[in-house]
């Protein structure tokens, strides 16, 4: 399948959808940050607020370019989650609603989700299925508590959950989350690892055409690769992964993976290709040149002067960066420095056995963690179960899925020196 990133401009079939998403986010995020912070209470986790936007505007919502409905879920909870992840509210608004609209990631995968990047590449909007949405709401309290207890969690960071609806069209749910990959460094290789072998192979022949495709478990093993971490980093990493997976097991989640993007410091950035524009890699790995973004006209009455003033008061740090920010002037992200796995230039640098830094930076995290082990998966388990050994089957119950995941990832986490001592090393069983 050939997939290329598409600019979402007026001619794009999802333009109106993307426009409305951004307009809705801007409105609800400004709104919640216009209030004085307070502690969370139980009802906050169930809260949801509907808004109706239309061309003429009304006393609550400003006039917009299109008529649409927008629903905001648990705004207080997500505000607190963003704070926990040190997301500056004004920067968040600028990233998601600056005059540039999003770029879309190719055609959706088999799950049917669409992915959009914010213009500055910091955030990803992923449309999710109704079941995933319902599930996230149900487990939001557990997720929130986990984030509070584990500031260094490797799990996807969910910053918002919303729903958008156009007249005569289906409701679309979406989450906003962190983009694990950095805007300023080329990712030379990408892997999506689950600890399973069935269907976990990206055709090596296709790599020639598409050298930066997302590879899978078997490609990793074939290359005899390791997550090269010396003792200290390995211990921290495995410990955090175990804590994160324990939560996923408790919530009966499965099918998640460890996404690993590798930046090779010796290769550095390919400045010829980069050419001062952002290059991004979509799930299929196709390289996309940043489109000349469609301009998102800022809705005129979007932020009343009052709300803007309130927002400014809640923002303690510096003013938002220029809207016309270019990619070679990316603002630093000092907040990421505070997070262990994202502290080395937004990622996690490999180390040797003696803890000296090695020449790769990993950009990693556990993604796609909203799939509950439900009857569909059970059915799949039944059918696939008639065939191979369980270590080869992807949809196994959550406890075993998690154990297998941890075993696999821990097994491939070792420094170069360690790996040399213990070859031949890893296998899946």
Q: Is 331 in the site for ligand ATP (CB under 6 A)?
A: no
Least Å distance, CB 106 to ligand ATP, is 10
318-341 b/e (C-beta count within 10 Å ≥ 16 → b): eebbeeebebeebeebeebeebeb
Total residues binding Ca ion (CB under 5 A)? 2
Residues in the chain: 429
Q: Is 103 in the site for ligand ATP (CB under 6 A)?
A: no
Task: Give the contact letters, 239-278, x = binds to ligand ATP (CB under 6 A), - = no.
Answer: --------------------x-------------------
Choices 177-185, 304-312, 352-360, 412-420; region in contact with ligand ATP by CB under 6 A: 177-185
Which whole-number Å values give the CA distances from 97 to 51, 54, 296, in the listed order? Answer: 18, 18, 8
Peptide bond connecting 424 to the previous residue in cis, omega within 30 degrees of 0 = yes
> From the list 113, 153, 249, 394, which residue makes contact with ligand ATP (rule: CB under 6 A)?
113
Q: Is 120 in the site for ligand ATP (CB under 6 A)?
A: no
Q: Is 228 in the site for Ca ion (CB under 5 A)?
A: no
> From the list 16, 40, 109, 425, which residue makes contact with ligand ATP (rule: CB under 6 A)?
109
Least Å distance, CB 268 to ligand ATP, is 21
> From the list 64, 90, 118, 179, which residue makes contact with ligand ATP (rule: CB under 6 A)?
179
Q: Return d(Cα 25, Cα 310) in angstroms, integer.
A: 17
Least Å distance, CB 28 to ligand ATP, is 22
Q: CA angle, corner 229, sides to 225 and 233, nearest 5?
A: 150
> From the list 101, 180, 247, 248, which residue makes contact with ligand ATP (rule: CB under 6 A)?
180
Bridge-based pairing of strands 287-289 and 257-264 is unpaired
Using CB positions, name the residue nearest to Ca ion: 368
Q: Return d(Cα 197, Cα 205) in angstroms, integer.
A: 18
Task: Give the contact letters, 357-396, x = binds to Ca ion (CB under 5 A), - = no.
Answer: -----------x----------------------------
The answer to whether residues 343 and 361 touch, using CB atoms and an 8 Å cutoff, is: no
Q: Nearer to ligand ATP by C-beta: 120 or 368?
A: 368
CB under 8 Å to 235, separation ≥6 — which residues? Answer: none
Describe the crossing of helices 231-250 and 130-149 by its angle, rounded to 10 degrees.
130
Chain center to CA of 369:
10
Least Å distance, CB 283 to ligand ATP, is 3
> From the list 22, 25, 140, 367, which residue makes contact with ligand ATP (rule: CB under 6 A)?
367
Q: Is 111 in the site for ligand ATP (CB under 6 A)?
A: yes
Q: Which of 192, 200, 199 is nearest to 259 (CA)?
A: 192
Q: Nearer to Ca ion by C-beta: 344 or 368?
A: 368
Q: Is 154 in the site for ligand ATP (CB under 6 A)?
A: no
DSSP 8-state code for residue 330:
P
Q: Which of 409, 146, 126, 403 is nearest to 258 (CA)?
A: 409
Q: Is 111 in the site for Ca ion (CB under 5 A)?
A: yes
Q: Nearer to Ca ion by C-beta: 350 or 406?
A: 406
Residue 90, sorted as left (phi over 0), alpha (psi -120 to 50) or beta, turns out to be alpha
Q: Helix, strand, coil % (nearest 5) of the chain?
A: 35, 20, 45
Q: Is 409 in the site for ligand ATP (CB under 6 A)?
A: no
Site for ligand ATP in 209-228 (CB under 6 A): 214
The answer to whether residues 151 and 339 touch, using CB atoms and an 8 Å cutoff, is: yes
Q: Which does 110 bind (CB under 5 to 8 A by kind): Ca ion, ligand ATP, none?
A: ligand ATP
Contact residues toward Ca ion (CB under 5 A) are: 111, 368
> Which chain residues interact with ligand ATP by CB under 6 A?
109-111, 113, 115, 124, 156, 177-181, 192, 214, 259, 283, 367-368
């Amino acid at each position: 399948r050939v997939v290329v990133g598409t600019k979402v401009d007026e001619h794009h079939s999802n333009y109106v959808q993307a426009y409305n998403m951004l307009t809705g986010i801007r409105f609800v995020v400004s709104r919640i940050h216009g209030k004085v912070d307070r502690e969370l209470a139980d009802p906050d986790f169930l809260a949801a607020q509907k808004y109706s936007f239309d061309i003429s505007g009304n006393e609550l919502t400003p006039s917009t370019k299109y008529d649409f409905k927008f629903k905001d879920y648990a705004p207080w909870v997500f505000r607190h989650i963003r704070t926990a992840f040190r997301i500056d509210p004004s920067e968040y608004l600028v990233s998601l609603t600056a005059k540039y609209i999003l770029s879309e990631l190719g055609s959706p995968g088999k799950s049917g989700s669409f992915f959009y990047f914010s213009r500055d590449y910091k955030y990803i909007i992923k449309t999710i299925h109704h079941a995933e949405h319902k599930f996230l709401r149900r487990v939001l309290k557990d997720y929130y508590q986990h984030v509070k207890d584990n500031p260094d969690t490797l799990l996807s960071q969910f910053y918002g959950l919303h729903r958008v609806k156009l007249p005569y069209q289906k409701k679309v749910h979406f989450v906003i989350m962190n983009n694990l990959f950095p805007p300023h460094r080329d990712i030379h290789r990408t892997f999506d690892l689950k600890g399973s072998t069935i269907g976990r192979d990206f055709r090596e022949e296709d790599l020639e055409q598409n050298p930066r495709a997302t590879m899978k478990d078997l490609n990793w093993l074939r290359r005899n690769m390791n997550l090269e971490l010396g003792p200290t980093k390995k211990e921290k990493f495995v410990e955090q992964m175990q804590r994160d997976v324990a939560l996923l097991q408790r919530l009966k989640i499965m099918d998640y993976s460890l996404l690993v993007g590798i930046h090779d410091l010796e290769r550095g950035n390919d400045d010829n290709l980069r050419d001062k524009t952002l290059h991004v890699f979509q799930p299929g790995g196709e390289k996309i040149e940043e489109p000349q973004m469609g301009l998102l006209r800022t809705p005129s009455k979007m932020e009343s002067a009052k709300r803007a003033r309130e927002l400014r008061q809640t923002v303690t740090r510096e003013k938002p960066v220029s809207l016309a920010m270019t990619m070679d002037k990316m603002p630093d992200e000092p907040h990421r420095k505070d997070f262990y796995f994202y502290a080395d230039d937004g990622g996690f640098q490999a180390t040797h056995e003696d803890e000296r830094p090695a020449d790769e930076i990993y950009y990693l995290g556990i993604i796609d963690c909203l799939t509950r082990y439900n009857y569909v998966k059970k059915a799949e388990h039944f059918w696939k179960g008639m065939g191979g050994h369980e270590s080869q089957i992807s949809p196994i119950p959550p406890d075993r899925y998690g154990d297998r995941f941890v075993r696999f990832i821990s097994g491939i986490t070792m420094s170069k020196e360690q790996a040399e001592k213990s070859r031949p090393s890893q296998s899946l069983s």
